[in-house]
């Protein structure tokens, strides 16, 4: 049995997997009492044989999670880092370790599921875009602020754009609150569409557009091209890694 950990910028997601069965899942935001939330969520779980983690956060938060896992399960955490090539995926970066492991694992999950060629869009604190060919070659990608971070940046850099209420997403807005929200979300949608179109021109097969991240579901109806949700891609990529990893502990 494995405990899989996805340490993202906004929250930690986890799953307990045994022989291909997903037994339990959960998430906790970093702004919450993380030790208490995880101790409560995990107290009914059997001790995992292997704890595997992927992280895009700082070393201090990784150390915090290591302490919690040690206290609850008396197990270490093995952190996955981005390699140049693994599990059918070949990274385009000259320095593969500079590619976020979340992006690598999302590509591993997509390739293992047979959904490549594809464009993977992670919509969260940041927007990440990656292109993956049918044979697992990573063409590269883009990074931009996510829709909420884009709004916060706009508020912090301007004196008069201070919405007095939460805005709604509209095609054309007639007030500042709606204009800010709509502009940021539509900018994200337009960038995804442009990236997908550029990738499609380089591909002999039309790539699928896969969305993951906390804001993926809200973005889906704003896109003018076919797209589908691919939730928990990092956890699914971790499970592919765990299944194929030669050092996996015996069940």
Q: What angle do CA 84, 4, 119 make, to 5 degrees?
A: 50
Residue 110's DSSP bridge partners are: none
Q: Pick from 102, 185, 186, 194: which is nearest to 148 by CA?
A: 185
Q: Specify the length of the chain in residues.
A: 251
Determine the Cα–Cα distance for residues 235 and 15; give it in Å rounded to an integer. 7
**Residue 135 designated active-site:** no
Q: Which of 102, 178, 215, 232 is catalytic?
A: 102
Query: How many CA atoms lie less than 13 Å away from 152 in the CB half-sphere?
Result: 7
Report, as residue numbers or ranges, the catalytic residues: 102
């Amino acid at each position: 049995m494995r405990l899989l950990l996805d340490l993202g910028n906004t929250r930690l997601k986890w799953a307990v997997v045994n022989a291909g069965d997903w037994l339990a899942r959960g998430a906790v935001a970093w702004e919450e009492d993380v030790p208490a939330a995880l101790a409560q969520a995990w107290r009914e779980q059997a001790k995992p044989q292997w704890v595997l983690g992927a992280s895009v956060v700082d070393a201090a938060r990784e150390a915090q999670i290591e302490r919690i896992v040690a206290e609850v399960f008396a197990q270490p955490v093995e952190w996955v880092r981005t390699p140049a090539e693994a599990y059918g995926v070949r990274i385009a970066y000259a320095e593969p370790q500079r590619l976020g492991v979340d992006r690598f694992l999302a590509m591993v999950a997509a390739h293992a599921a047979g959904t490549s060629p594809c464009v993977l869009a992670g919509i969260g604190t940041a927007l990440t875009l990656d292109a993956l060919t049918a044979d697992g070659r990573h063409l590269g990608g883009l990074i931009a602020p996510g829709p909420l971070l884009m709004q916060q940046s706009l508020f912090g850099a301007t004196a008069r754009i201070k919405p007095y209420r939460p805005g709604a997403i509209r095609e054309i807005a007639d007030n500042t609150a709606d204009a800010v929200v709509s502009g940021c979300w539509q900018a994200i949608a337009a960038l995804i569409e442009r990236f997908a179109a550029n990738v499609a021109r380089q591909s002999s097969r039309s790539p699928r557009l896969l969305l993951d991240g906390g804001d993926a579901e809200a973005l889906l109806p704003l896109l003018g091209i076919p797209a589908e949700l691919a939730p928990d891609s990092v956890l699914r990529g971790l499970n592919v890694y765990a299944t194929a990893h030669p050092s996996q502990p015996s069940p």
